[in-house]
Structure 1
Amino acid sequence: MPPIRSLTNTLRTRIQHAHLHTTRPAFHTPPPKIDVEALLATPTWSLDSLLPPSTPSTSTPTISSKQLHHLLRLSALPPPKDAAEEAKMLSSLSSHLHFVNEIRKVHVSGLTPLQSLRDETAAGVEMQEIGMKDLKDAFEKEEVKGTYYRRIRRDQDRIEEGESAKTWDVLGAARKKVGRYFVVDGGKE
């Protein structure tokens, strides 16, 4: 049986060796700066890569004429008038399916899905929300009248409008007027 001192020394060297490989060095270099202009100058993908090749390949899904007519019937769309229109529809549908399949190949695990096409940062969401402090001015211009139905009415004297709202001729652009109303023709004579 080896002496305890040698076991302790062996264990100590193993711990130090493991510690050397798991800790970071004392000097930490910052990541290199990325040249955004150079990065954006060469695109990493092209729209052409999402479109089907000019020669049909085996990976491109094929749609039969029977499937096309079934889809048209389900969509309540009229069938093609002739063979040329049917071939054009089949080609278009095949290219759409190829496009969708190429989009589905994109690796998106770990990404937060897009909720909308507006600013989704915390400041943007806060700016879009309407709270009580935003409505305070509007509530100050209202008063409750009535006993039973408690109708809310705006005080017209306290409404501030711009000069253009006061001088705007509402019926000025109307083609046909009757009194203080404008008339919209329904298309029937």
Structure 2
Amino acid sequence: MATRRCLICVRAARPTLLLQSNTRRSMPGNSKRHNSSEALADWEQQLAKPSWSVQSLLPSDTQPTDAPKISSKQLHHLLRLSALPLPASAEEETKMLDTLSSQLHFVREIQEVDTQGVQPLRAIRDETSAAGKEQEITMETLKDALAQEDIIGKHHKRIRRRTDKIDAKDAEDWDVLGYAERKSGKYFVVDSGKS
């Protein structure tokens, strides 16, 4: 079986997914056929140089943080709400306040990102109209499942699913006590913990 690597190609106006394997393929709905080895080289080059880091979103020592100042009383209240222990010393409390302040700064930086015109992500799956049509459940897709059902009962009709007889011979022949360290007849012997 060939291994595949998934790549996101952003050459077109909307991102598409490319699969690289022994054969070149593109996902349905792509109007252009991309050369997957070219796309792989482009993305390897693009990903070789990071364009940002988490560190760039954290406040530096020289840069004043724009996060709201949190008081000691607010910190204690948050710790009680979270069922976390209160700081044991003044140094530990200062460290917690600094960490919380940098986390709030980080969240504020993330909230600054311009998302104008970006549709919210509903799910991590293909959300194109073709994929929606493919995932639609119709009577035709349920035909096989409905064919396995019988309606029984004279006045209160119930649905009963027809099933094939299951061969459970292997399960019935299984030696349940085979791995027990101690047994008495057909029972496990378990110590109660009392001497």
- Report the TM-score, using the length of structure 2 for normalisation: 0.55
CA deviations 1:88-132 (Å, max 9, x no partner) are 322321121111011011111111111122222223333444332
**Cα offset for 1:69?**
1.4
Is the aligned partner of 1:113 residue 2:120? yes
CA deviations 1:51-88 (Å, max 9, x no partner) are 232x1632342322122112233445443333343233
| Ranges in structure 2 where 5+ consecutive residues have no aligned partner | 1-38, 181-192
- Report the TM-score, using the length of structure 1 for normalisation: 0.57
Choose 139-148 or 111-120, whichever is displaced more: 111-120
Write the distance in 1 (CA, Å) between the matches of 2:114 and 2:136: 33
Write the distance in 2 (CA, Å) between the matches of 1:81 and 1:140: 68
Q: Following superposition of structure 1 onto structure 2, how do residues 148-167 of structure 1 map, counting pairs within 5 Å? A: 148-157=155-164
Distance 1:50 1:141, change over 3 A: same
Corresponding position of 1:97 = 104
Write the distance in 2 (CA, Å) between the matches of 1:77 and 1:168: 51
Write the distance in 2 (CA, Å) between the matches of 1:167 and 1:124: 43
Corresponding position of 1:70 = 77
The structure with the greater share of residues assigned to helix is: 1
Choose 91-100 or 123-132, whichever is displaced more: 123-132
Between structure 1 and structure 2, the one with the greater Rg is 1
Write the distance in 1 (CA, Å) between the matches of 2:135 and 2:87: 47
Corresponding position of 2:147 = 140
| Ranges in structure 1 where 5+ consecutive residues have no aligned partner | 1-33, 177-187
The number of residue pairs the alignment matches comes to 140
Write the distance in 1 (CA, Å) between the matches of 2:170 and 2:109: 54
